[in-house]
């Protein structure tokens, strides 16, 4: 079986015939953006159980269910470099996270240096950017993102 074009990162454990509940965001994306429906196929991965071809069972307004039925790829370690970076303007920091994820970075470490202008970051937004980049580039893992720390520490 060929791999479905749409890949989604989920937190749930993945195993054959064990239905997975979708988040409202995933449900909206599949139903309203991609116009998928019952019996269409998507790939799921969670960074632990490999990648699974899954059948959409239900897509409601705010919830949905998919059922994994075939493992497409076994989970393998994806060790990579750590990247320490100083936050820059919002869109550029998002770009750094996206590209670092695509290049296989294992851990992202935002740091404040003596020349850092932007001293706040939204780690939830950065984590979402990393998940989306992993979905698009074919990785089976998503890099960890540390809280902002001072480089001297």
Phi, psi of 93 (to 5 degrees): -65, -40
- CATH T-level fold of 82-150: Alpha/beta knot (3.40.1280)
Per-domain boundaries in the chain? 7-73, 82-150
Q: Is residue 107 a contact partner of residue 123, using CB atoms and an 8 Å limit?
A: no
Helix (H, G, I), strand (E, B) or coil at 114: coil
Contacts of 79 (CB under 8 A, 6+ apart): 106
Neighbours of 98 (CB within 10 A): 18
Q: Which CATH superfamily is domain 7-73 in?
A: Hypothetical PUA domain-like; domain 1 (2.40.240.20)
DSSP string, 45-108: E-SSS-EEEEEEEEE-SS-EEEEEEEEEE--------EEEE---SHHHHHHHHHHHHHTT-SEE
Q: How does pLDDT run across 67-125, given as a tens digit for each residue?
A: 999 999 999 988 899 999 998 887 899 999 999 999 999 999 999 988 887 778 899 99
Q: How does pLDDT run across 25-80, given as a tens digit for each residue?
A: 999 999 999 999 999 999 999 999 999 999 999 999 999 999 999 999 999 988 89
State the residue for tokens 């159980």.
49
Which range, of 14-18, 36-40, 76-80, 126-130, averages the lowest pLDDT? 76-80
Cα gap 35→145, rounded to integer Å: 32
Is residue 1 predicted with pLDDT exceeding 70? no
pTM: 0.86
């Amino acid at each position: 079986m060929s791999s479905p074009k749409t890949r989604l990162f989920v937190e749930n454990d993945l195993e054959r015939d064990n239905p997975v509940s979708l988040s409202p965001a995933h449900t909206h994306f599949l139903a309203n953006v991609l116009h998928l429906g019952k019996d269409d196929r998507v790939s799921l991965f969670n960074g632990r159980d490999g990648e699974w071809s899954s059948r959409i069972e239900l897509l409601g307004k705010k919830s949905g269910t998919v059922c994994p039925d075939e493992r497409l790829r076994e989970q393998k370690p994806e060790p990579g470099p750590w990247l320490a970076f100083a936050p820059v303007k919002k869109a550029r920091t998002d770009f750094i996270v996206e590209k670092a994820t695509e290049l296989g970075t294992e851990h992202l470490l935002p740091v404040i240096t003596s020349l850092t202008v932007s001293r706040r970051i939204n780690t939830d937004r950065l984590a979402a950017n990393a998940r989306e980049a992993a979905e698009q580039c074919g990785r089976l893992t998503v890099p960890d993102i540390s809280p902002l720390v001072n480089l001297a520490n």
